[in-house]
Amino acid sequence: MSKKLGFRKALETKVKKSQVAAKKKAISIFTAMSVAHVDEEEAGSGEVRHVEKVLPRGDFYIGEWCDGLPHGNGKYLWTDGCMYVGGWFKGKIMGKGKFCWPSGATYEGEFKSGFMDGQGTFTGFSGDSYKGSWVMNLKHGQGIKNYFNGDYYEGEWRTGFQEGEGRYQWTNGIHYDGQWKNGLMNGNGRMEWSDGNSYGGCWEDGFPKGNGTFRWPDGSSYVGVWSKDVKEMNGTYNPSDSSTEKPDWDPQVVFSEYLKECKICPGEKMSILPSKKMPHWPGMGKGNDQGRPRRMSDGKLNCHSFSSDMHDVSAISEGDSKDDDDGIESLCLEDSTSRGSLPHFKTPTKRQGQTISKGHKNYELMLNLQLGIRHSVGRPGPVISLDLKSSAFDPKEKVWTKFPPEGSKHTPPHQSSDFRWKDYCPLVFRTLRKLFDVDAADYMISICGDDALRELSSPGKSGSFFYLTNDDKYMIKTIKKAEVKVLLRMLPAYYNHVRSFENTLVTKFYGLHCVKLTGTAQKKVRFVIMGNLLCTHYTIHRRFDLKGSSHGRTTSKPESEIDPSTTLKDLDLNYLFRLEKTWFEEFCRQVDRDCDLLEQERIMDYSLLVGFHFREVPTPLASGAVTPTGNADHENEEVPRLSQTGQDQLDSEPSGGSSIRLGISMPARIEKTVRKPECETQLVGEPTGVFYDVILFFGIIDILQDYDITKKLEHAYKSMQYDPTSISAVDPKQYSKRFRDFIFKIFVEDT
């Protein structure tokens, strides 16, 4: 312990000395530098020239300059000692470069919009180093990490953690080869100790869990089920040919002794991320008319707010707080093309749906639902095992509970009318909630807390109603009896699928229930509880429901009413989605797996729901690309901007990025497309070369439509009027092929 404390103090002393030296160096550079001031009016628009600039807060830039912004190669020095040397694109750190911290740590490699993104090497002041792939400041892809304590890891990373296949070598000679998840040994793997002993088998959260074998150098072994819980552990000792008797050996010693020296080193953290140091260039635009609207080619005025995430963060020293005296600058853009005024996205003024308060026609139904959920989830049950018996999936496996207003032995008194409550396959859905890491208490609070549910304004095409929990985590959908039968029929295959593929894109189901009102009506309302795919702190600026068919696949709203809450369809789509290579490969594999499941279960009419958030006010990456293009011209409306919460999430330390998953909070780029005027039913437009950085959400929804006699008749009827390949109601095999073909055209690898 004393050695570790001594090492830590030595590191702290080294850091303090290097920071002081860096600040002195920066001050000497600024005071000794002879600065040539450039007259902005002398340079023509689009002309790149070399400048040296002392900025308002004392920072310094030297390098190529164009239209009032760094563009090309340049060096930026912050007064706190941080430095960046490398490529710039219209004021943003972009391309290859090197970022240096005052402590002596460096990152050298590729950048995108100020983020470490691409191939690069981080070298820490303590001796840490990582060489490999990065995505938005996070280690992601293949990489090699050397730790300051001498440990070593080579393999796959995901969102800042070891995940996938990899090898970890400890300084004491122990090594592990196998699968990882969230920075811990998880899955199948083999660990070998320096004395020749080894364990090969299943791991969970860094410890042996499940079937595995411990071997000694003489050939003897212990084979069985492993767990930290002694009650769950059992196995058999197999002596070697040379052994004569069973040794007095407790397998629990592996947990208490053997793994003591196998801790994963946390590594060195960056004191501040380069994206947090992104410079702002107030008052350096061309001319002196900053803050005034500029006249566009058609005589209209165009002026909108500058994105808050581009506000001045360059002067935030390590440990300093942000000054607010500058306010948010106004950025006025001039359209260089002949398209006229630029349309903006409307900002929703209120949350979706109507709150179900007292007096609402469905108020009692909501109370019944909340009482039923509280009863189902809150009652004690057996210890959950992921290995379910086939009897748990029997459609007859359901539980009826009476809820009289005066209460009963098992139910509380309530203010609603008398009703009965049915749980379908309760053990299966309880296990699914555990599989999806849903905490029972949080689940009940979301659905049954003091906050009322919200009913979406209109039912879907099927006549189903949708309800959202107040925290937006869960969506409750009323469904028909036929859909209940479909879900129960496919439940065993669905369960095995989501258990096998944690990155599955199919809807997550948490419960299937029925409320039966007593009295003369005898009305039954069946509903399923699902995860809300677009539950996020980010503002979803655009959402699309995509099937790969063209007949009727356009929004019925007039352009003036389209806003970020509008769900657009296939013929409204005007983007290609570009995913980083490892994400794209996993996406293709998972879409194939999910479609195979749905095809096997005779499901059709499902969709890919896609929503995205613009990471910032988009800047021109190609001629004529100034702002994202909506479907209407709305002057004086706010352009998409990254919320402060969203910015904090993106700029968080690498250890805090575990929320990024396939289809959830994924960093990506989208490319604008346009359709040929003569091709009204063209599903995929032509790429324009205009790109935007986005946060992407997507998943496969509406997976309870069986290809029954109704759909077969619909197919036959519509085929006489329209192209059979353009309609939604087609055979599941044909539907799956058409869906995949379309999805793999609009989702491509980002090269």
pLDDT digits (tens, 9 = 90+) for 145-176: 999 889 999 999 988 889 889 999 999 899 99
Q: What is the pLDDT of residue 47?
A: 85
More confident residue, 84 or 398: 84
Mean pLDDT of 519-539: 85
CA distances from 223 to 318, 351, 508 (A): 53, 56, 36
Mean pLDDT of 630-643: 37
More confident residue, 640 or 668: 668
**Do residues 526 and 478 make contact, with C-beta atoms less than 8 angstroms apart?**
yes
**Residue 29: is its pLDDT beyond 90?**
no
Q: Over the stretch 43-86, which tens digit does the pLDDT of each residue have?
A: 556 788 898 888 877 888 999 988 888 989 999 998 888 999 99
Three-state DSSP string of 385-451: CCCCCHHHHCCCCEEEEEECCCCCCCCCCCCCCCEEEEEECHHHHHHHHHHCCCCHHHHHHHHHCCC
CATH number of 48-150: 3.90.930.1
Amino acid at 677: P
Classify residue 379 as exposed, middle or buried by CB count within 10 Å of its CB (0-12, 13-18, 19+): exposed
More confident residue, 423 or 322: 423
d(CA 478, CA 351): 21
Amino acid at 643: S
How high is the mean pLDDT of the chain?
A: 76
d(CA 726, CA 724): 5
CB burial readout 270-302, b (16+ within 10 A) else e: bbbbbbbbbbbbeebbeeeeeeeeeebeeeeeb
Domain ranges of the chain: 48-150, 171-242, 354-532, 537-616+660-750
**Do residues 562 and 631 make contact, with C-beta atoms less than 8 angstroms apart?**
yes
Classify residue 344 as exposed, middle or buried by CB count within 10 Å of its CB (0-12, 13-18, 19+): buried
**Do residues 380 and 440 make contact, with C-beta atoms less than 8 angstroms apart?**
no
Q: Which residue has the tokens 């809150």?
A: 378
Beta carbons within 10 angstroms of residue 621's beta carbon: 17
What CATH homologous superfamily does 354-532 map to?
Answer: Phosphatidylinositol Phosphate Kinase II Beta (3.30.800.10)
Are 48-150 and 354-532 equal in CATH topology? no
Max Cα separation, the chain?
98
Amino acid at 734: Q
Q: Strands 747-749 and 575-579: what pairing?
A: parallel
Mind giving me the DSSP string for 202-265? EEETTEEEEEEEEE-TTS-EEEEEE-SSGGG-EEEEE--TT--S-----TTHIIIIITTT-PPP
More confident residue, 263 or 10: 263
d(CA 314, CA 650): 17
Query: Residue 274 — very low, low, confident or very high, per pLDDT cuts 50/70/90?
Result: confident
Return the closest-CA partner of residue 617 out of 309, 313, 284, 336. Answer: 309
**Residue 281: is its pLDDT beyond 70?**
no
Confirm whether pTM is higher than 0.85.
no
Q: Over the stretch 406-442, which tens digit does the pLDDT of each residue have?
A: 888 888 888 888 889 999 999 999 999 999 989 888 8
**Do residues 346 and 634 make contact, with C-beta atoms less than 8 angstroms apart?**
yes
CATH fold for the domain made of 537-616+660-750? 3.30.810
Return the closest-CA partner of residue 118 out of 96, 137, 134, 141. Answer: 134
Q: Over the stretch 549-592, which tens digit does the pLDDT of each residue have?
A: 776 677 877 777 777 888 898 888 889 999 988 899 999 999 99
Sheet strand arrangement including 567-568 = 567-568, 542-546, 607-614, 686-701, 666-674, 575-579, 747-749
